[in-house]
A = this chain, B = another copy of it.
Amino acid sequence: MKAEIISIGTELLLGEIINTNASYLAGQLPLLGIDLYWVTQVGDNQARLVEALRRAWGRSDLILTSGGLGPTEDDITREAIAEMLGEELRVDPTLEREMSGFFARYQVEMPLSNIKQATLIPSAQPITNPRGTAPGWWVEREGHIIISLPGPPRESQRMWEMGVLPRLRQIPSGAIILSRTIKTFGLPEAAVNEKVSHLLSSTNPTLAIYAKPDSIQLRLCAKAQSREEAEGMLAKGESSVRAILEDYIWGSDEDILEAIVGDLLASKGLSLAVMESCTGGLLAATLTDIPGSSKYFKGGLVAYSREMISAFGVDAELIAQHGVLSPEVAGAMAKIARLRLEADIGVGITGVAGPDDIEGKPPGTVYIGIEGEKSPRLFSGHHPGDRPQVKRRATTAALFELKKALLTL
């Protein structure tokens, strides 16, 4: 089944609101085995909406419209569907009764303009709106379905769950689509692409690559007749990807790196402290985004100058010998965090956030130290980007190495 979404509203075209409804609906369709090929946004203009509906009618089996069901003159979705299908709008007595009941409950007189929300065309059945005055439309004709929902997400999402989803599930689509996301760190997008290039031509499951602030993600998408079959295809695809990228993979689907690190610390009963220079507190701030992080995170030191790094206790001679930008100083910072904050594990980060070089080293140069009871681990890396991006990637690198270190403890 081929689907298409039409989002209606001039405020979308003015950039005043973000089209979250389209994303919500788009995310629902794969679970029904329905393929979405097009999303179109149009303003509150009847001629252009009719044009969009006509094109959708010609190329799609299922058309979802969002918005334009309000009581005002610029709400034109009902009128446009009626015009496109050549059908007549009529006030439905049941809907009218329900609507005056709604207003009576709030002891408000029904504004006259609301009557248009009680109209239907012969091919349309109403979809109940438990959270507002605008009923939706379920239109069926000539093998096509049009489903019209109002704009406010709290109304339309409830209507989708209660009135649309159960009905769409009755329609055999012939296929189930499942996806799995695999999250990596440490290789640039193009290098990931090259390593898995022989898998990218697969059509089922498909494999695609996306760059995110904290990872390069690979998404497998499998289409099959049953959930079991689709899951089997995903599992096979995933093991092919894992065999190639094993060292760079830190999680999948909804995994969050700082939560994985937190779970490992909690399960091993270990505490953590950090000392940061170039990341300026972002590692501590990221760790503490996780509820319950106070159980394992002791705290941190942010030293934003050579003097402050030294004042917190890094040996001035060590700095003189290796420079502030060195794995040795990162290791010493990790040790100071661990000892001064009485934690089991310390992490130190020093580097160049940019935009200027420091000690002759370019922005993006980052050194990380991780120290537990035993051996200190030191890492060097280059993370291209501007200042916030270098900070974010250095933080992710530290969490990534910390996760690997925790797995060996």
Interface residues on A, range: 35 or more
Which residues of A38-79 have CB atoms within 8 Å of chain B's CB atoms?
A: 38-45, 48, 70-74
Q: Find A362's partner among B105, B194, B211, B353 (CB 8 Å cutoff).
A: B105
User: CB distance B304 to A298 under 8 Å?
Assistant: yes
A287 on interface, CB distance cutoff 8 Å? yes
Known: A26-B15, A30-B14, A190-B72. Contact between A284 and B302, CB under 8 A? yes
A251 on interface, CB distance cutoff 8 Å? no
Grouping DSSP codes into helix (H, G, I), strand (E, B) and loop, the A interface class, with mixed when no group exceeds half, is: mixed
User: CB distance A382 to B108 under 8 Å?
Assistant: yes
CB distance from A178 to the nearest CB of B (A): 11
A173 on interface, CB distance cutoff 8 Å? no
Known: A18-B18, A194-B113, A285-B391. Contact between A70 and B211, CB under 8 A? yes
User: CB distance B208 to A16 under 8 Å?
Assistant: yes
Neighbouring B residues of A211 by C-beta, 8 Å: 70, 152
Q: How far is the CA of A284 from the CA of B280 in the complex (A)?
A: 6
Q: A16-B208, A71-B189 are in contact. List 11 more A-B contacts (CB 8 A).
A: A13-B39, A15-B22, A18-B23, A37-B45, A38-B48, A73-B201, A111-B191, A113-B193, A281-B302, A289-B391, A291-B387
A-B contact pairs, 12 of them (CB 8 A): A13-B36, A13-B39, A15-B23, A15-B24, A38-B41, A74-B209, A106-B362, A112-B194, A113-B193, A131-B389, A280-B289, A284-B284
10 A-B pairs with least C-beta separation:
A15-B27, A280-B288, A281-B284, A15-B26, A281-B281, A111-B190, A39-B41, A300-B302, A281-B285, A282-B285
Chain A residues packing against B (C-beta within 8 Å): 7, 10-20, 22-30, 36-45, 48, 70-74, 102, 105-108, 111-114, 131, 133, 152, 154, 179, 188-191, 193-194, 197, 200-201, 208-211, 219, 221, 274, 276, 279-285, 287-289, 291, 293-294, 297-305, 308, 311-312, 341-342, 353-355, 362, 364, 382, 384-389, 391
